[in-house]
Chain A
C-alpha cells in the first residue's frame, strides 16, 4: 500500500495563477480532508469529504475548491492564488467512525 500520496512536493506560483494539488489514497477510506499548516497555528481544516460526491467546508475554505468523484482521489484547487495561501498543505484520509487520520507527506506551496 502506498497510503496517502500527494503531488507535487513543492510548487511556486505567481499571484493570480491557478493550480490543483493532487491527493490519492489506496486504503479505500471513506473520509478525506485537506489541511493547511502555518507556523504557530497548527493544522487548519480547509475542506473534507465523507464519500464520493459529498464534500463540505472546514475552518478556512475561502479561495479553495474541492471535488470527490472517486473514493481514491480528492484534489484541491486554487482558482486564483494569493500570497496568503503560501503554506504547507496536507491531505489525509480516514476510515469511519474512528476517524484516525492518515496523512500524506505534504505539498509546500509558495505564492509570490
Chain B
C-alpha cells in the first residue's frame, strides 16, 4: 500500500494527452516538492519533473507537472509510442521524515 495514490493504468491514442494524478496528504505533497519519474522496462527510473513543475534540460516540454494542495499531476501531451512506461511520483513526508512514492501508473499507447 503506497502512501501516495496513483491510478494503476492509463491509456490513450498517439498524439493524445494523458494526465496522471498523485494524491497525498498535508505532511507530504501539501508540505513538500513533488518529483516524477519515467521507468522504461529493464531500466532505472528517469527524472521527468522536479520541484513540482521544473523539467530537466533533456526532457521535452510535452511533459509538464503541477501541484495543488495535497495533489499533483503529470501531463503528457502528444503521446508517442516511446512514452509507454511506468510513471512514479515522489516526495518527502515532513511528519514521518521518510520518502514516499506512488504505486506507479502504467501508460499504454493504443
| A and B are interacting partners | no
